[in-house]
Amino acid sequence: MIVITYGKDIIENTYEALTKSDIDKYLNIDFSVSIKPNLVVPGPASNGATTHPEVVEGIILFLKEFGVTKIKIIESSWLGASTKHAFKDCGYEELSLKYNIPLIDLKSDRCSTLNHSGYSMQVCNEALETDFLINAPVLKAHCQTLLTCCLKNLKGCIPDSEKRQFHTLGIHKPVAALNAVIKTGYNVVDGICGDLSFEEGGNPVEGNRIILGRDPLLVDSYCAELIGYHPDEIDYLSYGKEMGIGNFFSKNTEVLELNLQNKPLNEVKSGRTTAKYKGYISEDAACSACYSSLVYALHRLGGRTSKKRKIHIGQGYKGKSGSGIGIGSCANGFEKCVTGCPPKATDIIDALK
C-alpha cells in the first residue's frame, strides 16, 4: 500500500496521511521509535536537499497521539559535514526542544559488523537497536545513483569510514545489502521540493506531496517513475529486488491519494533549470505536482523536444482542445495527451521523445 497526500500544509498532511495508512499494523505503543530524516548538509529544506522539519513534526504528532513515548531523531550527515550543524541549520534543534526529543548524531555512535550478500559492513547501533525505524528521506535526484530516496537514505546509518567503503565497492550493491540488514518500520517521503539534479540541493522543484508506505522498495520504485526513471534503471533497486527486500510498484499496488482537491497551483520558484524549459510550456493554473513531473521529464530529455508543438498543462485547459500535447488529465482534449493526476515523468518522456 502507498499513501500520497498533496498540499503545502506539511505538518497536517503528514499527520493525516499516517492516520489513513496501514502503519498501525506494524507499530506498537511500547516500541522505541527512531526517525531518520535526510540532513545530508546543513541547509534549509527549501534548497531541495534536506527533509522538512514539518514532515518530522507531523510524524511526532502522530506517534504521540498513537501512544508512543520513546522517540528519537537519528542522523549522520555526509562526509565532511557536521551533523550537529545540520540539526541546527535545518530546524531540528527547535523541534527537539519543542517536543523534548533527543537528537542523536550517529557519527558518534557505536557500531556492529553485519554481513549480507557477501558484504561485511559497519552499522550504527542506534539504527539496529530501535524497535521501529521511520525512514523520512527526500525524493530527489542523485549525481551518481540517479535517485536517492528510501533505500539510499539509510546510508546515513553507517559510519563515515563505511560510507567511503561503499563508494569503493560501487555503492549500488552495498546500499541494497544495507537495507537487508536494517529493517525499516515505515517510510515517509518528503516530496515537497526535492532537487532536480543533485543530492546537495540548489535546483528544487516543487512537488508538494508526501508519499508513505511500509515497503521501501515499493515506495522507491514508485518515486523513481515520478522523476523520470524506470525502476530497473536504478541499479540498487534491481539489486534490492534480487535480495528480496521488497517489491516494485505495479498496477496491482493499492494507492490511496489524499487532498487531491487541495493540490496547490504551481508557483515557479525552482531556479534556473526550471526557467530554462518555460519556452516549451503553455501553463494555465497547473498544480505543482503535475508541473514538477513535466520539468523532470524535460530535464531528462535535455530539452530534446520541439518547441513548435506547445506543451499544455494546467486546470485552465479543462474542456479545451487543439493541436499540441496535453499533460495531465485536465488537458486531455489535445491531440496527444499524457493522462494522470499527476502523470508520471516516465510517461511524459515516452510521449515527448
Nearest to 179 by CA among 95, 99, 240, 260: 240
Q: How far apart are CA 124 and CA 101, in angstroms?
A: 19
CA 271 to each of CA 122, 171, 204, 259, 274: distance values in angstroms, whole numbers, following the listed order: 39, 30, 7, 27, 6
CB 289 within 8 A of CB 263: yes
Mean pLDDT of the chain: 90
Tell me which H or E stretch contains 255: strand 255-258
Task: Compute CA distances 225 → 4, 17, 346, whole Å.
Answer: 14, 21, 6
With a cut of 80, say whether residue 275 has pLDDT above it. no
CB atoms within 10 A of CB 171: 18
Give the pLDDT confidence of 317-330 residue by residue, as tens digits: 888 888 889 999 89
Tell me the three state secondary structure of residue 353: coil
The percentage of the chain sitting over the pLDDT mark of 90, rounded to a whole number, equals 64
Tell me which amino acid residue 335 is.
Answer: E
Distance, CA of 213 to CA of 194 (rounded, Å): 18
Record the cell numbers describing residue 142, joined without a space: 542523485
Cell match 532536480: residue?
196
The rounded Cα 320 to chain-centroid distance in angstroms is 34
What are the angstrom distances between the C-alpha of 245 and each of 56, 151, 199, 227?
25, 10, 24, 22
**pLDDT tens column, 173-221:** 999 999 999 999 999 999 999 987 767 777 788 889 999 999 999 999 9
Domain spans, the chain:
2-261, 271-352
Residue 79 has pLDDT above 90, yes or no: no
Q: Give me the architecture of the 2-261 domain, per CATH.
A: 3-Layer(aba) Sandwich (3.40)
Q: What pLDDT is stored for residue 296 in this prediction?
A: 79
